[in-house]
């Protein structure tokens, strides 16, 4: 269980470090590249965990998944709030 918690905190730390909603001290291209690298490394770790049947690595990956899902939720919330600011309420045409 501790591996899952470490994984979740590590993933959130990485996502906060590079910027969840927009690049932090990097270009948009580099920011997208970071997300791609994180995804490919994660996929490689999943394959390794399944092949090796390493339960500690599986738990760590579960935590990384949870951290990534939380980061995605924060990112989507940012877009929802932007949309709410930019959308006129129903009946505003009167």
Which range has highest mean pLDDT (19-28, 52-61, 83-92)?
A: 52-61
Any domain includes 35: yes
What pLDDT, in 10s, does the model give residues 62-72? 888 888 888 88
Based on its alpha-carbon atoms, the radius of gyration of the chain, rounded to whole angstroms, reads: 17
Tokens of 76: 């989507």
Any domain includes 68: yes
**What's the confidence (pLDDT) of residue 85?**
85
| Residue 37 CB contacts under 8 Å (≥ 6 apart), including other chains | none
> HSE (CB half, 13 Å, CA atoms) of 32?
3
Any domain includes 47: yes
Q: Note down the domain range covering 41.
A: 2-86
**Number of structural domains in the chain:** 1
**What's the confidence (pLDDT) of residue 92?**
57
Q: How many of the other CB atoms lie within 10 Å of CB of 45?
A: 17
pLDDT at 26 over 70: yes
CA-wise closest residue to 12 among 85, 72, 94, 71:
71
Tokens of 21: 């909603």
Spatial distance between the Cα atoms of 24 and 7, rounded to a whole number of angstroms: 22
pLDDT at 46 over 80: yes
pTM score: 0.64
């Amino acid at each position: 269980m501790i591996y899952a918690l470490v994984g979740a905190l590590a993933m959130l730390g990485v996502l906060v470090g590079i910027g969840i909603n927009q690049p932090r001290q990097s270009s948009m291209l580099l920011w997208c590249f970071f997300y791609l690298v994180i995804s490919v490394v994660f996929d490689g770790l999943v394959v390794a965990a399944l092949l090796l049947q390493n339960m500690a690595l599986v738990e760590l990956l579960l935590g990384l998944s949870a951290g990534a899902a939380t980061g995605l939720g924060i990112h989507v919330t940012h877009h929802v709030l932007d949309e709410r600011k930019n959308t006129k309420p129903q009946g505003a045409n009167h």
